[in-house]
Amino acid sequence: MSDATNPFTSHGKRATCMEMLQLYLDGEVTPEQRAYFLSHMDHCMPCFKTYQVDVAIRQLLKDRCCKEAAPGDLITQIRAQINQKSS
Amino acid sequence: MPIFDAMEGARQVYTEAEKHEIFDREFLPHIHAMYNFGYRLTLERDDAKDLVQDTYFKAYRFIESFQRGTNAKAWLFRILKNSFINDYRKKTKEPSKVDYQEVESYYNSDDVNRQITSDLRIDSLKDMIGDEISNALNSLDVDFRTVIILCDLEGFKYEEMAKILDIPIGTVRSRLHRARQLLKEKLSQYAKSMGYKTT
C-alpha cells in the first residue's frame, strides 16, 4: 500500500504503525482509515500483537481500576453544603 | 454531543427548581466516576471526597454557565481537574515535571514501541490477579495517569480530553501514547518479577 492511498497520511507525512494503531484503538478513525488499518494489520504482525496487548490492558484497567464508589454519605453532604451556602 | 457550548456562549437563566433538576438529573449520575477520578488523582480517599464535594459545589454555583443537555460529564471532569491543579496540587506537591520534549521524540519511534510491547504477553496480563495494574497506573506521573483515566477508563474522545485538560488534541495523542508505553514498562516489570517469560 503506497502513501498515496494511505488515508492516515497528513500533510504529506506518513503515519507510523503506532499512530495508526492508537487512533484505531481509541475509535478516532474515519471509515476509510478503519478499513485501511484492518487490512494493514492482516500483514503487520507487530501491529497485530500490539493491538492484542493494548486491548487486554484496557480491559484489565476497566476491570480493576473503576471500583472506587463514592461514599454513601457524599451526596447528602453535597446537598447540605449547597443548601447552606445558597440560602 | 456539544462540549461546553455554554462556556463559549450565552449565560443561561434557570429557576431554582430547574437548577435542582439539572443538578439531580445531569450532574449527580456521574458521582461515582467523579469520585474514582478524584481518587486516582489524589490517591487518597478523604482527599477524593473533598475534591468531589468541592467540584459539585462549584458546579452548582456556576450552573448558569452550563447549558442543559450538553456534556455534563466532561464539564464536571474539567472542574474537578482544575480544582485538583489549583487547590489540591499546590498545597501538596511541586508541579509535574514531565519532560514533554521526550514525549514528542518518543512518539514516532516504532522500534521503541515494538520492543516494549514484545516484552508483554497476553497470558501474563490475564494472570495479573492482584493490584498490579492499579499500582502500575498509580505509579505514573499524574499527567500521564490522567490521560489514561480519561481515555481508557472513562471513554472520553480526544476532543473532550483536549477541552478537559486545556491542551491541543496533538498533545492529547502524544501524551496518551507515552503514558501507555510507561504503563506497559511497569506491567512488564511486574510480569518479569512474577516469573513470566517475557521474550
**Model pTM?**
0.86
**Domain count along chain B:** 2
ipTM of the complex: 0.89
Q: Are residues B84 and B105 in the same domain?
A: no
A50 touches chain B (CB under 8 A): yes
B60 contacts in chain A (CB < 8 Å): 82, 86
Which one has a higher pLDDT value, B99 or A43? A43
Choose from B46, B60, B112 for mutation: most chain A CBs within 10 A.
B60
B122 contacts in chain A (CB < 8 Å): 52-53, 56
Q: Are residues B86 and B113 in the same domain?
A: no
Q: Within a domain: residue B199? A: no
The separation between the first and the last C-alpha atoms of chain A, rounded to the nearest angstrom, is 66
SS3 content of chain A, % helix, strand, coil (to 5): 65, 0, 30
Q: Are residues B56 and B125 in the same domain?
A: no
The residue behind cell 511486574 is B190
Residues of chain B below pLDDT 70: 1-9, 90, 92-119, 129-130, 196-199
Q: Within a domain: residue B198? A: no
Q: Contact A26/B56, CB-based, under 8 Å? A: no
Alpha-carbon gap, residue B167 to B120, rounded angstroms: 31
Q: Which domain holds residue B129?
A: 100-193
pLDDT digits 0-9 by tens, B143-152: 999 999 999 9
Q: Are residues B104 and B184 in the same domain?
A: yes
> What is the domain-level CATH number for residue B142?
1.10.10.10
Q: How many CB atoms lie within 10 A of CB B108?
A: 16
Q: Are residues B139 and B82 in the same domain?
A: no
Q: Contact B110/A17, CB-based, under 8 Å? A: yes
Of the residues B35, B60, B92, which one is the last residue of a structural domain? B92
SS3 B105: helix
The residue of chain B nearest to residue A59, with distances taken between CA atoms, is B152
- Closest Cα of chain B to A62: distance in Å? 6
Q: Are residues B69 and B112 in the same domain?
A: no
**Domain count along chain A:** 1
DSSP-assigned beta bridge partners for residue A10: A13
Q: Contact A53/B108, CB-based, under 8 Å? A: no
Share of chain B above pLDDT 90, in %: 61
CA B44 vs CA B36, B47, B48, B88, B138: distances in Å: 11, 5, 6, 12, 11
